[in-house]
Amino acid sequence: MQTKAFVLVAIAGLAHARFGQEGAVQNLVQALSNFGPPGAAGTLAGRTPGVLLAGANACAKLELADEIVATLGDNPRVIEAAKALVAAEKNFNPFVQNIPTICNNPALPTTQALRGIVPKVDPAVVGADIQNANSQRSLTNPFNDNGLSVADISRAQGFSNFTDQV
């Protein structure tokens, strides 16, 4: 009986963690194979899941988004895929933390077309409705960054339930 209870708790925890969402961005970048050097889109696409996992630094996805544009060019399709990465929800482990991490490095992203975009967060996080609406809006109408970090922009737009990472 204890074993069944443990398994149910473990499954519930995995379901809550919302694993597997990294594939959407990976597919967008993979589809850019006509841009940049041969094989570059596939290599970059293969790196996207790693920057969205719980243990990754929140700034790593912004660095990778910049690298996607630097490597594949500034074609609108490339920019849209890089924007999707910037806005993508980063996983977090509910057994270790209960709030997400957001990058607090005002220099990132360096690509102007990616500035002012804020990330989505797990819907279970308090305030996620505000942040997720802001994230969706920022994809088409980025917030004025005025040299602010993504974390600072998120705070300015009414979401502060996160941990800063540099």
What does pTM read for this prediction? Answer: 0.88
Q: Higher pLDDT residue, 20 or 3? A: 20
pLDDT tops 50 at residue 118: yes
Counting other chains too, the contacts that 52-55 makes at CB distance below 8 Å and 24 or more residues apart are 52/21, 52/22, 52/25, 52/88, 52/89, 52/90, 52/91, 53/22, 53/90, 53/91, 54/17, 54/90, 54/91, 54/92, 54/93, 54/96, 55/93
Write out pLDDT tens, residues 64-86.
999 999 999 999 999 999 999 99
CA dist., res. 151 & res. 63, Å (int):
15
Q: How many CB atoms are closer than 10 A to CB 125?
A: 18
pLDDT at 90 over 80: yes
| pLDDT of res. 20 | 59
Judged on CB neighbours under 10 Å (0-12, 13-18, 19+), 107 is exposed
Strand partners, 101: 163
In angstroms, what is the C-alpha Rg of the chain? 16
**pLDDT tens digit sequence for 151-164:** 999 999 999 999 99
Q: Which of 17, 79, 78 is nearest to 52 (CA)?
A: 17
Q: What is the pLDDT of residue 13?
A: 43
Angle between helix axes 58-72 and 40-52 (nearest 10 degrees) is 170
* pLDDT tens by residue, 6-42: 433 444 444 444 455 668 999 999 999 999 999 999 9
Confidence (pLDDT) at 10: 41
Residue 89, φ and ψ in degrees, nearest 5: -70, 130
Half-sphere exposure of 15 (CA within 13 A, CB side): 6
pLDDT bin (cut points 50, 70, 90) of residue 95 is: confident
